[in-house]
Amino acid sequence: MIRKTLLLLVLGAGALVFSSCATCWSGGIPLRPTEVEGHRQALADFGPTDDLRIHKGLAHPVSEKRLYARQVERGGWIEVHGFKFEAEPAEFPQSTAEEVLDLYRDLDSHQAWGPKTKCAGFHPDWVLLWNQGERLRALQICYGCHEWKFFGPDGKRILSDISETAYFGPLTKLLPKEER
């Protein structure tokens, strides 16, 4: 009886851990050839990153409606490809932004994008921005969906999941997840 109870407790705890991780992110799917090519194209579009800066995303407009509304009303934000971020760049050393881009450049930091069915929708926690002349580049990072979304010049958009090793390793240490 005690063994059976312990087994049920362990299985129940494991289910809670896995269900909390599986609420949105599929993870673990290797990149397909078209995604490898998309990644190559994104890197070709990077250009110089001399003016690279990091901006923090506003609260999630669906899961944190009140906070988001207050932030929007207060002002001091910019919109980048449909999402709002604090207008002032976040205070990180320049090396942090370069390390995040180096992580993005590493093909092992990507997995095939998988559809998300149980989350509140893509909403980037961070965006890295840089220009080449008047042509803006943006790398949006969503921790809820575990996704990278790169926007290059001329409307190019490349989407992939963040690999477990990148997400649970350096990424969230470089750009911390904020508890609101």
Assess if residue 106 is contained within a domain. yes
Residue 60 included in any domain: yes
Which range of residues forms the domain containing residue 115? 25-174
Tally of structural domains, the chain: 1
CA distance 129 to 99: 14
Instruction: Note whether residue 148 is domain-resident.
Output: yes
In a domain, residue 112? The reply is yes
As a residue count, the chain comes to: 180
Burial 2-35 (b: 16+ CB within 10 A, else e): eeeeeeeeeeeeeeeeeeeeeebbbbeeebeeeb
Q: Quick check: is 9 in a domain?
A: no
Determine, yes or no, domain membership for 77: yes
In this structure, is residue 121 part of a structural domain? yes
Q: pLDDT per position in the chain (180 positions), as tens?
A: 444 443 333 334 333 333 334 446 556 788 999 889 989 999 988 888 889 999 999 999 988 999 999 999 999 999 999 999 999 999 999 899 999 999 999 999 999 988 766 665 788 999 999 997 788 999 999 998 899 999 998 788 899 999 999 999 999 999 998 765
CATH of the domain at 147: 3.30.1490
Residue 88 lies in a domain: yes
pTM of the model: 0.82
